Structure 1
Amino acid sequence: YAAVIRNLHDKYLEKQDDTLIEQIKNLKLRLNLTRWMQIFGIVSLLLCVLTMFLIYIEYAILAVWIFGIALLLLILSLALLVREIQISIRALSLHLSDIESHLSKK
């Protein structure tokens, strides 16, 4: 993402094109989705480790609830991943159709 953002930044400074602004907005959305996906995934993993510890010290009831929360966070993380992939594919499809339209004009 960092290289793409830097590249878009340089292009925008060269020529302030509205399509570049849309690409930048798209990248901001994807970055936010990725950030939250990673946060939910990491917290889910930490809660799974806490669950193992709770089982070890024989707090099984609490472990069940903590593990349930971990599973919900993992579901959220995966849902955000699916959404980010959809946005990414749509953006790449737009680039490909743009290239195809230029090729068909030649």
Structure 2
Amino acid sequence: MIEVTTPAILFPAVSLLMLAYTNRFLALAKIVRDLAGQLIEHDDESLRRQIDNLELRLTLIKWMQALGILSLLSCLMSILAVHTELQMLGEALFGLSILLLFASLSVCLREVLLAGNALKVVLEKCRPDGKSRKR
């Protein structure tokens, strides 16, 4: 049996995640704009690869945000259900909110790994042999 305060523990976590996701989105949007301008001036394969990577990352960030929002909404509905003494529904909605938060963080992990690949493309371009170092 959960109390109203149990689902409320997710609020700070989800709020901070949403802020972090939004900051990532805004930073990537700026980079895309800059790279798109460079691509117009110079048709470069490296720039195209970077933009493709960024496009996928922006899509993942939108999914991260959507799943985070759904987690927060499920959490709110859980609180409402527990408050109106619909205990089983409240517990189910709280479980759903945790699953949605897990999904959001899983997509976030995928996006972070892609961020490393984006830097690898830039580093390859900087090296004379066109290859990045293996570590």
The TM-score, its normalising length taken from structure 2, stands at: 0.70
Aligned counterparts of 2:60 and 2:104: Cα–Cα separation in 1: 9
Unaligned runs of at least 5 residues, structure 1:
none
Q: 1:18 corresponds to which residue?
A: 45
Deviation at 1:97, TM superposition (A): 4.6
Structure 1 position 90 matched with structure 2 position 109: no
Residue 60 of structure 1 deviates from its aligned partner by 0.4
Secondary structure, in 3 states, of the residue corresponding to 1:58?
Answer: coil
Q: How many residues align?
A: 101
Q: Give the TM-score normalised by the residue count of structure 1.
A: 0.87
How big is the shift at 1:67?
A: 1.2
CA contact 2:46–2:121 (8 Å) conserved in 1:
no
The C-alpha deviation readout for 1:47-85, integer Å capped at 9, x for no partner, is 111101110100001111111111111111000000100
2:108 corresponding residue in structure 1: 81
Deviations 1:6-30 (A, max 9, x none): 1111111101112211111101100
Q: Give me the whole-angstrom Cα distance separating, in 1, the residues matched to 2:70 and 2:115.
A: 25
Tell me how large the CA RMSD over aligned residues is.
1.3
